[in-house]
């Protein structure tokens, strides 16, 4: 079955963030809560979309990932770019840090 994590954009700086098991938003996909697609994912999305989180992020949604915890990587290229930064100037993206 497909594994999923929740991503959104942080309100204060617009960066892509990922929802963790601790109920916090993290900048690394490796810290995201990874669950099986289906009811578990929908429940996690409901938690990530609560009123308190609406003050921190905008537009939480589920994305498919592959790999194991700690080495998670988005399946779709769009989400991979959101995770790593610009593909045309890697010296300026998140990967440059």
Supply the pLDDT for residue 18: 96
Task: Kindly report the average pLDDT of the chain as a whole number.
Answer: 87
What is the share, in percent, of the chain residues with pLDDT greater than 90?
A: 61
* Residue 40 DSSP label: H
Q: Collapse the DSSP code of 77 into the 3-class scheme (helix H, G, I; strand E, B; otherwise coil) and give the result.
A: helix
8 A C-beta contact, residue 24 and residue 56:
no
Q: Which domain holds residue 45?
A: 3-96
**CB burial string 66-95: b at 16+ within 10 A, e below:** eeeeeebebeeeebeebbbbeeeeeeeeee
Q: Which residues make Cβ contacts (< 8 Å) with residue 38, sequence separation at least 6? A: 1
Query: Is residue 65 predicted with pLDDT exceeding 70?
Result: yes
Domain count, the chain: 1
Higher pLDDT among residues 17 and 70, named by residue:
17
């Amino acid at each position: 079955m497909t594994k999923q994590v929740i991503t959104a954009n942080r309100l204060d700086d617009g960066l892509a963030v990922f929802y963790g098991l601790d109920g916090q938003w993290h900048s690394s996909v490796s810290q995201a809560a990874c669950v099986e697609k289906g009811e578990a994912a929908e429940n996690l999305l409901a938690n990530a979309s609560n009123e308190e989180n609406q003050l921190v992020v905008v537009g939480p949604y589920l994305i498919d990932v592959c790999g194991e915890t700690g080495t998670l990587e988005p399946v779709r290229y769009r989400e991979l770019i959101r995770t790593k930064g610009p593909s045309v100037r890697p010296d300026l993206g998140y990967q440059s840090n």
